[in-house]
């Protein structure tokens, strides 16, 4: 709810359309009540299991490929630091391409 409240306040001059996956926390009575009280906000749910429509899935797939393919890590901290280093080196152009944003 904090994210929805924040978006609603920050984008007060706009109608907001959010496209979401079908995660449990994106649905339910609290979300329904919030939507009823905030008419400028509209949620549209992606079809079940459509990673091609969900940019974060493409980002995650590329991250796994670049960071963990054929590699062994001694500990979790090393995996995390390698993920941060790799994704931090990506150009805005690469991120837009992965997210299919022109």
Q: Which of 24, 40, 30 is nearest to 2 (CA)?
A: 30
Whole-number pLDDT of residue 65: 95
Contact 18, 41 (CB under 8 A): yes
| Confidence at residue 78, expressed as pLDDT on a 0 to 100 scale | 96
pLDDT digits 0-9 by tens, 12-69: 999 999 988 888 888 999 999 999 999 999 999 888 877 667 788 889 899 999 999 9
* Other C-beta atoms lying within 10 Å of the C-beta of residue 41: 19
Q: Which pTM was predicted? A: 0.53
Buried b vs exposed e over 60-88: b needs ≥16 C-beta within 10 Å?
Answer: eebbeeebeeeeeeeeeeeeeebeeeeee
């Amino acid at each position: 709810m904090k994210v929805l409240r924040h978006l609603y306040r920050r984008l007060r001059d706009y109608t907001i359309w959010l496209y979401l996956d079908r995660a449990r926390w994106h649905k339910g009575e609290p979300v329904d009540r919030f939507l009823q009280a905030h008419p400028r906000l509209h949620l549209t749910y992606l079809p079940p299991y459509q990673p091609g429509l969900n940019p974060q899935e493409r980002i995650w797939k590329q991250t796994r490929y670049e960071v963990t393919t054929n590699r062994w890590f001694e500990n979790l901290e090393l995996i995390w630091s390698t993920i941060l280093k790799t994704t931090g080196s990506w150009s805005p152009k690469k991120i837009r391409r992965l997210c299919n944003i022109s």
